[in-house]
Amino acid sequence: MEELLLEYGLYGLFVLSFLAATFLPVASEAALGGLILAGADPYACVAVATIGNTVGAVTTWGVGRWGSEPFLTRLLGLSAAQRERAVRIFARYGSWSLLLAWTPIIGDPLCAVAGLFGLTLKRFIPPVLLGKLARYAGLAYLLS
């Protein structure tokens, strides 16, 4: 990961942030921190990581929207309990629950469940973007 960041900078951060919001276990926070500590512009890093992670979340939403529930369970590697938890959270809080799309373990399932429930992108993107921006901006603030 370090080599990718050093060689590709913000482009590498975008790719890692995108992948982190899909079903792959990638630490985009470490990539953001590494670039900032290496002297990259924190504002640019936060913007790129937020956009990449949000586009990745939209991809996960699309898998939920056009995939079947059994397919999602296999793809996410979720237990029935984890899937039901995501469904309960989304059913109770609706699109506001997507402010938590950045969280480990529950974030990806929430995005997929939002797609599965037919939430429009117009209602999906704002809370996801806001939650991811807050996470990356908070991390950048702690590092500066």
What is the rounded distance in angstroms from the CA atom of residue 24 to the CA atom of residue 65?
A: 19
Q: Could you tell me the pTM of the whole model? A: 0.85
Domain count, the chain: 1
CB neighbours of residue 40 within 10 Å? 17
Instruction: Give 56-75 pLDDT, tens digit per residue.
Output: 999 999 988 887 767 766 76
Let me know: does 116 contact 69? Beta carbons within 8 Å. Answer: yes
According to DSSP, residue 137 is labeled: H
Instruction: Give 18-29 pLDDT, tens digit per residue.
Output: 999 987 778 889
- Residue 12's closest CA among 37, 41, 49, 47? 49
What confidence tier does 92 reach under pLDDT thresholds 50, 70, 90? Answer: confident
DSSP string, 69-134: HHHHHHHHT--HHHHHHHHHHHHHHGGGGGGGTTSTTTHHHHHHHHHHTT--HHHHHHHHHHHHHH
Domain that holds residue 101: 2-143
Query: Is the pLDDT at 81 greater than 90, yes or no?
Result: no
What is the rounded distance in angstroms from the CA atom of residue 12 to the CA atom of residue 128?
A: 21
